[in-house]
Structure 1
């Protein structure tokens, strides 16, 4: 009882009471209240009666109930035990009860089961790690229709040369096709968030590009640290050269390759960049194919990023 009282005292700063439930801003709880947006999200996801759907952050279940009417099974992942109880209450004694599985806990720490479609109003503070958890999930799912903070959504779909184009853009677009579906005003939520939102459709590339994703991530981390600088400049940084030299020596040791006494990592990097005509390129204007060519060239010469 003491915990409940304490939470109620904090409601002015930490939550808002609606329907007997205090929404917790620490969990990013903003409940989507507009049924038209829910309808649109479900239509865009291309649901089939045989589908298993993963819903992240079902809240009070407004979208969950609609999903249960249309698909074979819904797996709902919810961190807040109070909302879990509310959701269970809504389906109790109905045919939908047998079709709903609830995973209680943090979705980032949860082993996700098989699913065909993911539909969710994402707690914004977990947006980036969640996108990559989904994209690296196996077996593949068909698509995800997800609500994000508008600027995050714009970064996901940004193209080379766009102001918001960044490492998030290129890493996501390597693994998936990403489309902006619609913008959603803050007044469609209870309580209203401080920022506008947007819905994005993510369709994993199946099969994925035949590369080591950890290697790719290491490369893009280096070049996007200073995305407006030339690649030549990015790779001349002392810390970058030291890391790549260490990785190269490990590679040579594992493959019984002799390192020449006059070996110079800086010269080797510059030679590779010149050969693929990338020395004067800037990360902000390069697309996934450009980075794939670059990664392949480095790896062929024994230069690794992981």
Structure 2
């Protein structure tokens, strides 16, 4: 370790938050009874502030040098007993119970991190997550927004997501290439009774060309072939007779017509529209996984 502090590993996306005002905004809303999971604590600028407010902090750090620096920082202080450091890759780590998760997220794991958190049980109360600005804007995008995409809908199915604040690149050491934003994510509890893989399978089809009509997207040969295969597999497994004049294209377009969605476009559809679409297809024994 050099005398002027640790060398940051750009491969791990390490950018340490140095502005205390930003840290203050991130830690707002913590309770004295909270167990906080912190992803990528770095040198502990934010960790030390969280320790002052929470009951316990579990910090997951991949870099042994930064973990050692953080441990050294709290040794001999009243916070020492409240901090538990887990050394390892967050994506491969078995997570303990926590009430709140706080993360200054390396951009390489933004999407996997969000879904790992949403799948975590027992459910947590809230997540305060810092991402690259564009990724954050995708999470909160609404129908009609330019950045509205499959990610937006998948995440908003399971959580309420709000923008907390913009964070300029000069708030970090070393400064990253891009601007950042902090979002708050609150899981819906209980989660909606929707098969996540099915739902994502549907979204994959309609968001490939989000400005095209649903009919145009579903008419593609590869899509029709996949749905026909899935339909026949489902019917076979559930001993359902396949109609003698069965034609997948006629069936799919008929389903879209029946709910008046042939001319709808994914770019303008909301969560309820997608759920209605999935339910109608499933009722007709058409599945997306």
Give the TM-score range, shorter chain: over 0.9
Residues in 2 aligned to 1:110 and 1:229: alpha-carbon distance in whole angstroms = 40
- After TM superposition, the structure 1 = structure 2 runs for residues 86-105 of structure 1, keeping only pairs within 5 Å, are 86-105=69-88
Corresponding residue number in structure 2 for 1:26: 11
Cα deviation, residue 204, structure 1:
0.7
Corresponding residue number in structure 2 for 1:187: 170
Residues in 2 aligned to 1:164 and 1:76: alpha-carbon distance in whole angstroms = 32
- 1:60-113 Cα shifts (integer Å, max 9, x gaps): 011111111111111111111111111111111222222111111111111111
RMSD: 1.3
Residues in 2 aligned to 1:69 and 1:204: alpha-carbon distance in whole angstroms = 25
- After TM superposition, the structure 1 = structure 2 runs for residues 102-117 of structure 1, keeping only pairs within 5 Å, are 102-117=85-100
Residues in 2 aligned to 1:166 and 1:38: alpha-carbon distance in whole angstroms = 30
- After TM superposition, the structure 1 = structure 2 runs for residues 89-238 of structure 1, keeping only pairs within 5 Å, are 89-238=72-221
Residues in 2 aligned to 1:112 and 1:277: alpha-carbon distance in whole angstroms = 44
Residues in 1 aligned to 2:216 and 2:129: alpha-carbon distance in whole angstroms = 37
Task: Determine whether 1:50 maps to 2:33.
Answer: yes
Cα deviation, residue 260, structure 1:
2.3
2:72 alignment partner, SS class: helix
Runs of 4+ in 1 over 6 A off after TM superposition: none
Task: Determine whether 1:61 maps to 2:44.
Answer: yes
- 1:100-134 Cα shifts (integer Å, max 9, x gaps): 11111111111111110011111111111111111
Cα deviation, residue 262, structure 1:
2.1
Corresponding residue number in structure 2 for 1:12: none
Corresponding residue number in structure 2 for 1:70: 53
Residues in 1 aligned to 2:86 and 2:271: alpha-carbon distance in whole angstroms = 35
1:37 alignment partner, SS class: helix
Residues in 2 aligned to 1:22 and 1:226: alpha-carbon distance in whole angstroms = 43
Residues in 1 aligned to 2:121 and 2:239: alpha-carbon distance in whole angstroms = 35
- After TM superposition, the structure 1 = structure 2 runs for residues 7-22 of structure 1, keeping only pairs within 5 Å, are 19-22=4-7
Q: How many residues align?
A: 289
Q: Which runs of 5+ in 1 are unaligned?
A: 5-16
- 1:216-256 Cα shifts (integer Å, max 9, x gaps): 01110111011111110111111111111111111111111
Residues in 1 aligned to 2:75 and 2:235: alpha-carbon distance in whole angstroms = 62
Q: TM-score, normalised by structure 1?
A: 0.92
1:23 alignment partner, SS class: coil
Of 220-229 and 101-110, deviating more is 101-110
Corresponding residue number in structure 1 for 2:254: 271
1:259 corresponds to which of 235, 239, 242 = 242
Q: Which runs of 5+ in 2 are unaligned?
A: none
